[in-house]
Amino acid sequence: MPRSNQKSADAADRGQQLATPLVSSRAKRAAWPVRFARFSRRLHKWVGVLLALVVVVLSVTGGFVAFKDKLDYLQPPGRSGVEGDITAVIPPARVAEIILALQLPEAPTLKQINRIELRPSKRMYKVRLEQSSVWQSPREIQVDAMTGVILNDGLRGDQLWTDLHSFAVFGVTAKLIVMTVTGLALLWLSLSGYYLFFYPSWAKAHKRKVAVAGLGIGAATRLGHQAELRKPT
């Protein structure tokens, strides 16, 4: 092989040896975002599929809860008692006696009375009974705060839909697990969604940077090659 060709080959080899570690280092740094993007895309898809079931339940039940004061099934319409001074209302103990006197199967004792609430503007007591089961709506009885007359009697369907919305119908443990996992899943979907949204822009910028760096390495190799050729033999 002629000496000039041998020098050219040696210079090219040295330039390639200098460029190889730099290119390899940059390739390693660029590999993990690609792998993480692929992992995020797969997990994002399956988390979204499973979470969609929970979101459907939350959407449907949330719609019923939002309109609880618009539908009689969800909340019995509030009746107003007779006119009178607020100081003349009957005490809650008397209201409890009136409820027990009805001899309802849902309220044989005081333990089945969940709450007694006074609505001063309507001069009316709202009496909420306990649910006979987690899958049944509790009963609400409205009592005139002035006379003790029953004004309205109906079911509070919103309570069942609220328990479905929070998954409380499946028990406290199931409620805590589902709500915790759902919260973490929504957080992951949000973060991975942002990452996948901005990743293509980053990848394009990185490719341009690598291309510019490659041109610089190529120029350095050519300069080294030319320097070798200028050396005296």
Query: What residue spans define the domains of the chain?
Result: 32-57+175-233, 70-166
pLDDT of 92 reads: 95
Nearest to 82 by CA among 144, 141, 125: 144
pLDDT of 214 reads: 57
Tokens of 115: 């709450």
Q: Are 112 and 93 in contact (CB under 8 A)?
A: no
pLDDT of 142 reads: 97
Check if CATH label 3.10.450.40 holds for domain 70-166.
yes
With 0.75 as the threshold, say if the pTM is over it. Answer: no
**Strand, coil or helix: 1:** coil
The segments of the chain whose pLDDT lies below 50 read 1, 5-9, 11-12, 15, 18-19, 22, 220, 223, 229
**Which tens digits make up the pLDDT trace of 151-199?**
999 999 888 899 999 898 888 898 899 889 888 988 888 888 888 888 7
pLDDT of 144 reads: 97
pLDDT of 28 reads: 56
pLDDT of 145 reads: 96
pLDDT of 128 reads: 96
